[in-house]
Structure formats: structure tokens, C-alpha cells
Structure 1
Amino acid sequence: MGRRKRKIGNEGGTVVDGSLSSCGADNGEVILDGCVDNRSVEPQPCFTTKKQAARRTSMRRANVNTPSSSTELICVLGNTEGYDSPTSVTTRRQVHRRTSMRQLNTHFKDKQLHFHRCCENGRVSLPQFQEPPLLLKQLLDSRYFTDNIRAYNQMFSMTSYGAKTDDTIDDGRSPYVFKVFGQIYHWIGSMCPQQGVPPRFLQLYIYETDHEFENRMSHFGGQYFNRLCSLVVSQLIELLDTHNELVKLFRIARDKCRDSEVPTFCVRLFSVSGSRQHALPTSDAIGAIVFDSGPRATTDYDVIVEPRGEVPRCINKLHPMYMSPQFPLMFFYGEPGFHLGLMLRDVPGSPAGRERKMTMNMYYNYQIHDRLGVYSLMLRMGRLFQQYVVMVYCSIELNRMDYIRHKQKDIRNEYLSGLYDAIDRGDQTGANVGSRTILPASFTDGPRYMYSHYLDALAICRVYENPQFFITFTCNVKWPEIARFLQPYTLLTPSDRADVVTRVFHLRVGEFVAFLKEEQPLVYSEESSMRSSFRSERIDDYISAELPDPRTDLVGYAVIYATMMHGPCGLAKSSAPCMELSDCSKKFPKLYNSKTYFDADGRAHYRRRNTGIYATRSGVKLDNSYIVHYNLLLCLTFYAHINVEFCGWTMLIKYLFKYISKGTDRVAARITRPVGNTDAQQSQVPKAIDEIQNFIDARFICPHEACWRIFNFPIHHREPAV
């Protein structure tokens, strides 16, 4: 057979899986430019122009035969004896990149910039939030307040939220992450509690306000056994009474309750503007006091707060007061949120006849963007901002599902066009036909969506054969773009600004895919068209599981140590996040291998020799047995945890789509007949299958995924198109 070239990552349709967690170098001991405080090696931005890409390619080809071409040093190397911590180095590649970035800045200096992702090219325009009081700004500059901001917000929240929160991941061993699964509800109770029940949430603003401070503190352990500061609580009570319009409305209701001559009334929160007919005027336009003798006509989403009631009421996600009562510290003035009356602006160049209604996604996408010269209280809330973006995305997702639920007749006509189609899709009896609630393939991240893309991936493999490499690209929160943005916010961590991390990672994923296509770091030639001709010795040219020698490649040693080294774990650190039942869940440390080989199942075991090269982390010496397999060129270019696996088997595609869509493991069971009853012909009521509810119960949401979806970033890409 003649020689031929095969490209992995171009025609073969490489699928890149990106995760939004920090790389495993949080406690690394790498020194950057002589500054020990940074504890990381500065990554340089990738090139974006064709001229720069061509220049970089020519430099790499010119130095391809030089063993240390990627680490040609300009400064003098320090002592590397013992390899405990790499010294500060600057490569010619880094200098070249910095020069190119200055050229890019000069190029775009006089260009007119256009913004379309945040405001739809100016069609979305919302009033700016009023600047918060000075005291609240001072509180946000306190580490104690920001660490407990969710507790303070919960203390003053007027509504309760029903959701299943996963707190097991916040055990102190990793950055804080707010994570929920299932459906989220916002509940609002009555103005007064039942007999013998202490007041909660909204009731604290109306009932027994003479003891309001004690009542609030009692829900958090009492006045003297509480981690919350009594002075801060008192100050927040005063601030909310002065500035929050919702609080003012409920204080008016309190005064009416104390007046024995006032007839029975309720509080009505408007769902649209201009709904104040036949209502007692108040100081704001968001709600009113409505008497029993007056008209009680309401719109579909109005919230009525009764004097007393046993069951709380659920606030519709389309109500403008859906978020403000839940986040009183974030919406400090009681500002209304999204509602159906919002419209887009007419701007020059917009298509004629285009729909002018503002969607919920447009509204929240505009809201969580930074703007020059505007003080955004929301984006400084840290952990509370994490909770907010999760609830925002859940609202957007549920709004889309409501539309799908109301269009089931049209969807069933498409999916269940015949009886045989119904049987193929799981309806085994005629009584079940038409009773299933379908989540169509057009819904992103749904089971049918994943399955359709899985079939497309198989079609690509039929034409271009199976992919050889499986790449996992993990976001590094120490990238300079993220660090530079967070410099003015001294108390915020990258996990507190999931929006910034998500936007930077989206840019890097695009650069990463472009790099695979243009630079072709995973291209090989083989002697035969058969897959078996790819010998194990060839894998070492693309995948490594060893620390580079710092005497010849100091930069490679520093980057791999900071991004691709696992641990310490096991007996050296039993509290490591990877530990499960006293063993490492990732099976580290690995066994040494003198060469790369394939086992009986076709899995590759990479060369991992005991070279005597090690690095020290947290006082523990880590050698090649703790290295995650990598490609050196990719790690040097993007300074991130990039795991590269050789996997030339068909089940890779199925594993990929299971991996990116996996959620909570669930088991469903149903008793079909009573125990002891052998009558198989007993009549049974068929249970309708609700695919929408099954999806909601199984999925979980974290801040980074929520921001990714709010920004409408794609979760899947395939090339070529099927």
C-alpha cells in the first residue's frame, strides 16, 4: 500500500469536550517573572490573524529540529538541582506573542467596535440600576460580609425558593459553587402566620415588627449564637425600610393591619404596568392594597398576598416581581424584572418587520454584562450572584419547556404520525398513544437532541473512520484575561464571576479548534490504510505521560507541573477531592511503564518511566506516576489542563455523548400488580410518560453552565456538517 496522509482534527471531525472547572494547579509552586505571589506561569493569548498564524508557523518549522526550540531562553536559568520549583524564564515565543498583542491593540485602536451579543446591536435597552447606598458598598468591601452574603440575603428575602441544593461539593476543599437540580419555585406566603407559628420571610415585614430583629435572628441560631453580625442586621433593616419599594408597600400593609377600622384587604403585586385601577394608591407603582369590597379582577400573573393562608402561592416566572423579593440585597430598591410588555428598540439597520418583543433570554443576557462607568451591584455579589444566574437560567429553560408543553399537539403529529411509530417510541398499548409528553430534538441538551447528534457523529465516522484522539480541554482560571479583569475586585474569586470565566473560555475554545485545524499538531502518516498499522511507538510522538527534563526544557517542565500533575492524594493527603473510600478515584499513582503498549481490550497504556525527575507540591514529591497524559505543544500554547487520549475504537462516540449529557443517576420503578395477586389480566391504568418532567428531575445546573447557556454559546459542534 502506498503512503498517504491522514489528518486528525480536520476532515475527521474532531469533537472537543471543554469543562469549566479550574485546572489542577491551584496550589502549584511555579514562579512567574520572579514574583512568587502569582504562583503560576503566565499564558500568552493565541494569535487571531492569518499573518500572525503564518509567522508563528514559520518560526516553529525553522526550529523543529532543535530539541529546545520551544524553550530557547533569553534570561539566565537558575539552579534546577532537585527540581523543587522552576525558576522564572522568558522564551522567544512569549516575547513574540507580546509584540503581536501590541500590534493588535494598535490595529483596533481607531476601529469602531460593534456589540451584538449583549444588546442585540442596540435593540435591547434597559434602564440602568440606581447606585446603591454608601453603606452597602462598604459592606461589599468586607470579606466577612461577602462570605455570608447568601445568609444575609436569605434573612431579608420575602419569598422562599423550592429547589434541591447540592451542598456536598462545598466541603472547603475547592472553590464555592452553587449547584441545584430539579425544578425551582418561588413561594410567597400570607401576611400573617398561623396561630403558634413564628413569622417567616414576607411575614417578618408585617407581623410583630416590634420584635423584628429578634424574629429574624431566631431563624439563624439566635442573637448570641449566630455567625451573622447584629449591627449589620440592624443597619440592613433600616436601609431596606428607607430605599426598597417592596418593603415600603409591606410596611403600609403593616400599618393597615394595626388600624382596626380598616376592612379586610390583601396586597396585590402587578404583573404589568398600568394595573392600578380600583386600588388604594401607594408610594410606588409595583403593587397596591386591595380591599375585599373593591374589584378583584387580576391579570394572569398577578400575585395576591392574602391576610392569612395555610398554603404558600407560587410566583410565576413571568411576573416582574419574580426576582426582587427573592434577592432584596441585589435589587436593593425593589426594581421590577422581566415581563411580557418589554419591547425592542428600532435601530438603523434592523430588519423591517422583525419581531419587536424582548425575550427573557435577551433581558437577562443584557443584565449580566458589565458596562463602562456603571456600578453594577449584581456583579459584585459573589456567591449570591452564583445563585442568581442559576435561577435565571432555570427560569429561561422552564419558559421554553412551557412553550413545548403547550405545543404538544403539533409535536405529536410530527413524532407519532402512525401506530408503528408510537410502538417504536415506547407506547406498547393503544391507550398510551397520544398520552406521552414529548421533549423534541430541537430542545438543546435534551435526550433527543443528544441522540440526534450521536447519530450524526456515527455518520461522520462512517465516512472518515473513527477518530484517534480524545481531547478534554479544561478552563484555567489563572489565564491573564481573567486575572486582569478581577484585579479591581479584590474580594472576588474567579468562581464568583462565572460570566467572565465563561466568556474567556468560549474564546479559548474557538482558538483551540482553530489551532487544531491550522497547526495540525495531531497529524500522522501511516504505511497502510489499516488502523492496526498505527503502532504503539507512534503514540509517544503525540502523547506523553512524563515530566520534561528541566535541564533541557524548563518551560515545558513548569507548564506540565502546573497544569497536568495530579495530587497529592492517597496517604499523603487523604482529604483530596479525588479521594473515595481511602482510594483515589482517578487511580493515581499510576504504574511505571518502560514503553507504550495496548492491552487485550485495545486500550493504550502510555510510557511512564521512572526517570528520577520530580516536583514538590505541598511538601510531597510527585513524579511521573502522577502525570496526566498530555500533548506538550497544546499545553505550551494554551497553558491549560488538556488531556489527550488515544482511543481508536467505535464506542468512543457513545462514551462522548454519554459523558457530556450525564446527570444524576436515577432509578424508576412501578408496581404493576399487588403482591400475591397472580392475575396477569388485572386491569391497569397506563401511566403517562412526561419527558419534560423526567428531564427536569434528572438535570443539575451550576453557575458556569448557566452563564454559558444564557450567553447562547453552543454546547456542541461538528465538522463537517451532516
Structure 2
Amino acid sequence: MNLLEEKINRIQVFSLCCDYGKVELPDSKEAPPTYLNLFRSTDSKSKYFINNIRRYNSMFSFTSMGGKVDASINSGKAPYIFKLDGQNYHRIGNASTSTSNSIDLQIIHDLKHMLDSNNVLVQSYRIVRDCFHDNPHIDLKLCLIGKMIQDGSTYNLSSASEVVALIVGDIDDSFQIEISLCASYEHLRNVQDHGKTTFSNIGQRVILPSSFTGGACYMQQNYLDTMSLCKWVGYPDFFITITCNPKWTEIKRFLKDTNLKPEDMPAILRRIFKIKFDAMIKILREKNLFGKVQGVVYTTEFQKRGLPHSHICLFLHSDDKLRTIEQIDKYISADIPNINEDPDFYSLVSEFMMHGPCGAENMKCPCMVDNKCSKNFSKKFSNETSVDEDGFPIYRRRNDGSFVEKSGVKLDNRHVVAYNKDLLKRYQGHINVEWCNRTMKVLLIVQYPTAVRLPFHLLGQHQVIYDPDDDIDNILDKSFIASLMFTSWLECNKIYKQARNLTYVEYPTKFVWKTKSRKWKPREIGFSIGKIHVVSPKLGETYFLRIILNKEDQYLFGKIHGNTFQTEFFTINDAG
């Protein structure tokens, strides 16, 4: 699939799948033919296996999840989803087996033979089976403990040397979970000067930093990144939501001649959605469907029914921003098209852009909360687009008798989800387009232009990450410790004259931070914005340092720019 996309160029250059050859994966092992046939064949045995695949998966799983299962979420027509509330447990069942008339013993035998022959974890698990076979009356429990000491790649298949099988009771206090520590460089140097060589109790535990997707720090940093973007290009102009369509032609073609459903292949759904999403972002930026684009902010999520969808904030150039309410109708519609004038477009709107039926006609609709629609449908009829007292748009929804019938209920223009005709025709899926008012809050991931997070610190106060067992001399002597983004910025201004007219925040607009060489280099293409981390006033000098780095007017010795800042700042610091 990626191959077809990349063949657009005459010279084959693979980028999306492997980042221009930077990622190299080993050849995947071919599954046994009997196992492949269970998925690819269309006979009755394969159909039975697909329909009962969860049962077979649970039968051969090492551990099973336990907790409070929320079955109410599967009340609609969407694909089945498994939702677990509260604490998540992992349990290992009995090593003995039981028979049931509702399962195919031949399938069980084939799966068991495949796992015994190919999976190192299964081979470890069979230790308990052999013990139980020799003495069926003993009570055995097994713990599988893995430690990735050879390769940190996330998706590598575990090898036998990385898996330890222990009978419960053999584990003593020496088994610990690895936790990295963090402390300032100056503090570690003081520890070394006092002759201490063991410092596992020095510093603080690092838990859920901003690099942890979905964590509190992660969300906060992304919000601040977006606010930095708003500082440069203003408020967003359009808010677009695109949802994966499991009926896309590419998905149907992939599942042709199989017993699989779209929800059975989530990886395929994600890949096709990603290709179409990237193509849409490219069109928005290059074709100027809404005007010249200054920036794009988006986040990708998964709905309760498992389909990927993305929320996009579009920032337009100041010359193309909407000046009047009447301009909204040029880009956003909330009417059912005339079936006689454009039957294909009518079919798209009726299939993808109609909300409901909900309310009194369908109280079981997923949108119903406290006996009313959480999406505020149905809307009111309106002959023209306007803005309410809170600044939110009220789209034109004419009472012209147009309707779409769903589940025996006639839905008129009051049930249309706002859309853009060009995007809907091009991508044929649920694509909601809304005009943004100025007060709209944004909590998304910055994608274009890129927001470069610029760290800063007082002298010797930069953070050092280490493991409890690392030697302190090796930590302090690492070359990268002295080559930090902030200190390298100070050095770079001594080399490049054009850099001296830029503040620290403005630096990424003209310079690029090279991770490998740990140096700033003049930017050749593209555009990025800088963002300095937020600092509490309680931190004193660090807080005032941030103020200085953000200033553009005169301060003490003149404008605070890189070439003069290092001497001036530390002179001020020493004098104080």
C-alpha cells in the first residue's frame, strides 16, 4: 500500500514507511500454512475461527485482563469494543485443560503446535505443564518476568535470554523495577567532591515526563506549544474533524475474498487513514482551499468504536482571514443538497453528515445524555448565517422541505453536521468543518509549523538523567552534558553575526538545532517557532532569566541578544 503511494515519483523514494531508509526492520517470519489458512481461507472452518477468535485468543493467552467490564458501550451499531473500568489486573489461569463441545479440537491442536514450535514464551510456560504432568496434585503458579537488556526496540520479539520463568515464592527482595533518576549537574558534582560514590538515593524519581504520551505534563506542554503558535499566527480560523471511513475502497479491496471485517484489521484502518489524512493536510496547505495557510495544529484519537479520527485547527494568513459573516457560507454548509441536481453529493451528505436520529425518536442513541442530545441536535432553522452572543456561528439551515430518511425517521436540515463540499467529495467520509471564534480553546499537538521547546538554566543547573548504578565520573564526563541547546545558543552567536539580532525565542525561525552534532546551524528551508518553558516565580533567578530571554526592548546593557547576554547575565549574577 505504501509502495503504491510512493510510486508516484519516477525514482522510488520510500519516506512514509521507513523515513528515507533510516528505519530497517528484519524480515518477518512466515507463519505456518495451517495458521495462515485460518485467516485467508473462505471455507467454513476459517469462518468459524474468525467468529470465535476471541475465545481462542483467551484460551492461549499467558495472562488475562481482569476488572470491571463495561458492556453498555456496545449498545449501538458500531463495531464491538472492549472497555475496562477501574483497576486493570493480569491473571494466569489453570495449567490444566478442560474440554467443551463448542470449540474445534483440530483448531486447538494446530494453534498449540504452532505456538510450541515458534514462541519462546510458550516454551518457558511449558515448564509448568511438564511439572504438572509429573505431579498433577501440586499447586503451581508461574510468573514471567522480562528485562530488555539487549535491545530497547519496542516491538522486538523476546528471545530466550530475555525471559525468566519463576515459580511464585522464588522471588526475593533483590528484584526491583528499574527507575531513572534526575538531578542537577552542580548537585552531582558536589556529591562527587564529598567523596560519595553511591548515589542511588540522590536526586528525584522521574515519573511521567512530558515525553509520556497522554500524561499531565504531555498535555500541558502541548497546550503551551499551541499557545506559542497563536502568538505568532493569531487565532485559528477553521476547526476540522475527519473520521476514518471503514467503507473506503482501499479497505474493501484489502478485505476482499476474506472473512475479515474492517474492525478485525485496525492496523490497515490506521495506515489508510494516515495516508488520506496526510494528503488532506497537504492539499489544505498547497491548494489553499480555505486560503493561504500559516499553520496547522492537529491531534489524532480513537473513537469509542475504535475508528481513528483527527481534530485539526487551521490558521490562515492575515490576508485570507474571514472578515464578514457572509464569507462563512463560501466554505461551510449545513444544508441537504438537491437530490436531482447532484445525486452523488446528496448520497454523501445523507450517509456521512446526518446526525441521528436521536432524542424522542431514539433514546438509545450514543449521543443521548440525561435524556437529551449531548451534541445539541436538532438545531434551529435559519435563513442566513449569523453569530450568537457568545461568538459561536449559527449556520444557514433553510426550511426548504429537504430531508433524509434514516431508520424510518425523516431528518431535515436541522440535523446536518456542518461540512465543506470540496473535502466531503474528495475524501468521502465524515468531515466536520466549523468556523472558529476567537475564544475557542485549543489543546492539540503542534505539527506545522513546528514549535521548538527551548530549555534554559542557570550556570551548572541543567538536569542530568542517569541510572542508580551508573558511575558518577562517567556521568559528569559525558561530552553531551556540556553541549546543551541553551549553552550552544550562546556559543553560536559568537560565530554568526545574523544570529545576534535574534532573541532566544526567535532563534528557531532562522536556525536549526542539530541533535547529532549538538549545535545550532543556519536554517536552509522551513520555518519553526520557539517556546520557552514556563517557570514559577517561586524559582527566583530562573524566573527572571526567562523574562530576560523573552524581552525585546532595552534591559540594563541594551537588547538582550545571544552574543552579549552570557557575559552580561553572569556579571549581573555575580554582582548580586
Task: Report how far residue 187 of structure 1 moved.
Answer: 3.7
**Residues 1:620 and 2:409 are matched in the alignment:** yes
Quote how far apart the aligned CAs of 1:486 are: 0.9
- The structural deviation recorded for 1:479 is 1.2
Look up the match of 2:357: 568
Please report how far the alpha carbon of residue 642 of structure 1 lies from its aligned counterpart in structure 2 after TM superposition.
1.2
User: 2: distance between equivalents of 1:416 and 1:313?
Assistant: 43
Cross-structure match for 2:103: 232
**Would the aligned equivalents of 2:337 and 2:346 in 1 still touch at CA under 8 Å?**
yes
Read off the aligned partner of 2:145 and give its amino acid letter: N
Give the conservation status (yes or no) of the 8 Å contact 2:67–2:89: yes
- Name the counterpart of 2:155: 361
Query: 1:480 corresponds to which residue?
Result: 249
Question: Matches of residues 479-628 of structure 1 in structure 2 within 5 Å?
Answer: 479-489=248-258, 491-523=259-291, 534-628=323-417
**Gap change, CA 1:124 and 1:531, over 3 Å in 2:** closer
Q: Which residue of the other structure, out of 169, 176, 179, is the alignment partner of 1:406?
A: 179
Contact 1:460 1:720 (C-alpha < 8 Å) held by counterparts: no
Output the CA distance in 2 between the equivalents of 1:619 and 1:505: 32
Structure-2 residue corresponding to 1:15:
none
Q: Take 2:18 and 2:51, find their aligned partners in 1: how far apart are those partners?
A: 35
Q: Alignment length, in residue pairs?
A: 387
Letter in 1 for 2:281: V
Structure 1 residues 171 and 533: CA distance shift in structure 2, 3 A: closer
State whether structure 2 residue 545 is matched by structure 1 residue 641. no
Q: Which residue of 2 aligns with 1:116?
A: 18
User: Structure 2 vs 1, CA of residues 567 and 415 (structure 1 numbering), >3 Å: closer, same or farther?
Assistant: farther
Cα distance between partner residues in 1 of 2:322 and 2:12: 52
Q: 1:457 aligns with which of 218, 223, 226?
A: 226
Question: Does structure 1 conserve the Cα–Cα contact (< 8 Å) formed by 2:243 and 2:430?
Answer: yes
Separation in structure 2 between the aligned mates of residue 475 and residue 414 of structure 1, nearest angstrom: 48
- State which of 209, 219, 222 in structure 2 corresponds to 1:440: 209
Matching residue of 2:488 = none
- The answer on whether the counterparts of 2:6 and 2:13 sit within 8 Å (CA) in structure 1 is no
State whether residues 95 and 132 of structure 2, in contact with CA within 8 Å, keep that contact through their aligned partners in structure 1.
no
SS of the counterpart of 1:472? strand
Q: Is the 8 A contact 1:124 1:363 kept in 2?
A: no
8 Å Cα contact 1:494/1:501 also seen in 2: yes
Distance 1:251 1:437, change over 3 A: closer
State the secondary structure of the residue aligned to 1:517.
Answer: helix
- Change in 2 beyond 3 A, CA 1:142/1:583: farther
The 2-side partners of 1:184 and 1:127 are apart by: 32
| Preserved contact between residue 540 and residue 596 of structure 1 (Cα < 8 Å) | yes
Counterpart of 2:145 in 1: which secondary structure?
coil
SS of equivalent to 1:643:
strand
- Distance between the aligned counterparts of 1:626 and 1:611, measured in 2? 14
**What does 1:257-296 align with in structure 2 at a 5 Å threshold?**
257=135
Instruction: String of CA shifts for 1:92-116, please: whole Å, max 9, x gaps.
Output: xxxxxxxxx9xx8986799587963
Measured in 1, the distance between the counterparts of 2:62 and 2:227 equals 51
Q: 1:539 to 1:169 in 2, by over 3 A?
A: same
Aligned to 2:145: 316
**Contact in 2 for aligned 1:163/1:184 (Cα 8 Å):** yes
Aligned residue for 2:442, secondary structure, equals helix
CA–CA distance in 1 between the matches of 2:271 and 2:421? 25
Change (3 A) 1:558 1:631: same
Q: Letter of the aligned partner of 1:483 in structure 2?
A: K
Using the size of structure 2 for normalisation, the TM-score is 0.57
The alpha-carbon distance between structure 1 residues 631 and 238, as it changes in their structure 2 partners (threshold 3 A), is closer
- Give the secondary-structure state (helix, strand or coil) at the position aligned to 1:406: coil
How far apart are residue 471 of structure 1 and its match?
Answer: 1.1
Is the 8 Å Cα contact of residues 158 and 202 (structure 1) preserved in structure 2?
no
Deviations 1:159-188 (A, max 9, x none): 333455443322353211234467755444
Cα deviation, residue 630, structure 1: 1.0
- Please say if residues 187 and 315 of structure 1, whose CA atoms lie closer than 8 Å, have aligned partners that are also in contact: no
Task: Show the counterpart of 1:132.
Answer: 34
In 1, Cα distance between the equivalents of 2:217 and 2:401?
51
> How far off is 1:475 after superposition?
1.3
Q: C-alpha separation between the residues in 1 aligned to 2:223 and 2:376?
A: 29
Question: Which residue in 1 is equivalent to 2:77?
Answer: 173
Cα 1:141–1:487 shift into 2, 3 Å:
farther
Q: Verify the 8 A CA contact 2:322 2:328 in the aligned structure 1.
A: no
Alpha carbons of structure 1 residues 129 and 152: separation in structure 2 relative to 1, 3 Å: closer
The alpha carbon displacement at 1:253 in A equals: 2.8
Q: CA deviation at 1:530?
A: 11
Q: CA deviation at 1:472?
A: 1.0
Are residues 478 and 164 of structure 1, via their aligned partners in 2, closer, same or farther at CA, if it must alter by over 3 Å? same
Matched residue, 2:52: 148
> CA 1:498 to 1:140, structure 2 compared with 1: closer, same or farther past 3 Å?
farther
Distance 1:617 1:626 in 2: 11
1:173–1:577: 8 Å Cα contact kept in structure 2?
A: no
Task: Mark the CA change 1:554 to 1:151 in structure 2 (over 3 Å): closer, same or farther.
Answer: same
TM-score (norm: length of structure 1): 0.47
Structure 1 residue 496: Cα displacement = 1.0
3-state DSSP class of the match of 1:132?
A: helix
Alpha-carbon spacing, 1:415–1:450, altered in 2? closer, same or farther (3 Å): farther
Distance 2:155 2:70 in 1: 25
In structure 1, how many angstroms separate the alpha carbons of the residues matched to 2:78 and 2:220?
33
Q: Which amino acid aligns with 2:291?
A: V
Q: Over residues 421-462 of structure 1, what are the superposed CA-to-partner deviations in whole Å (9 max), with x where a residue is unaligned?
A: xxxxxxxxxxxx966753222223322222222112112212
Percent identity for Structure 1 against Structure 2: 33
Residue 41 of structure 1 is matched in structure 2 by: none
**Residue by residue, what CA displacement relative to the aligned partner does 1:668-717 show, whole Å, maximum 9, x if unpaired?**
xxxxxxxxxxxxxxxxxxxxxxxxxxxxxxxxxxxxxxxxxxxxxxxxxx
Equivalent pair of 1:568/1:617 in contact (CA under 8 Å): yes
- The CA deviation string for residues 340-380 of structure 1, in whole angstroms up to 9 with x for no partner, is 55xxxxxxxxxxxxxxx46123559xxxxxxxxxxxxxxxx
Shift of 1:610: 0.6
Higher relative contact order (CA 8 A, sep 6+): 1
CA distance in 2, matches of 1:121, 1:437: 29
Residue pair 1:140, 1:146 contacting (<8 A) in 2 also: no
CA displacement at 1:631 relative to structure 2? 1.1
Q: CA deviation at 1:589?
A: 1.5
Q: Is 1:653 the counterpart of 2:442 in the alignment?
A: yes
Deviation of the 1:572 alpha carbon = 2.6
Q: In structure 1, what is the Cα distance between the partners aligned to 2:111 and 2:255?
A: 29
Partner Cα distance (1:112, 1:533) in 2: 39
Deviation at 1:416, TM superposition (A): 11
Please state which structure has a larger fraction of its residues in strand: 2
1:203 equivalent in structure 2? 95
- Paired position in structure 2 for 1:252: 130
Q: Which amino acid aligns with 2:34?
A: P
Counterpart residue number, 1:283: none
8 Å CA contact 1:173–1:576 kept in 2: the answer is no
The Cα of 1:203 is off from its aligned counterpart by 2.9
Q: Considering only aligned residues, what root-mean-square deviation do their CA atoms show, in Å?
A: 4.3
State the AA in 2 paired with 1:176. Y
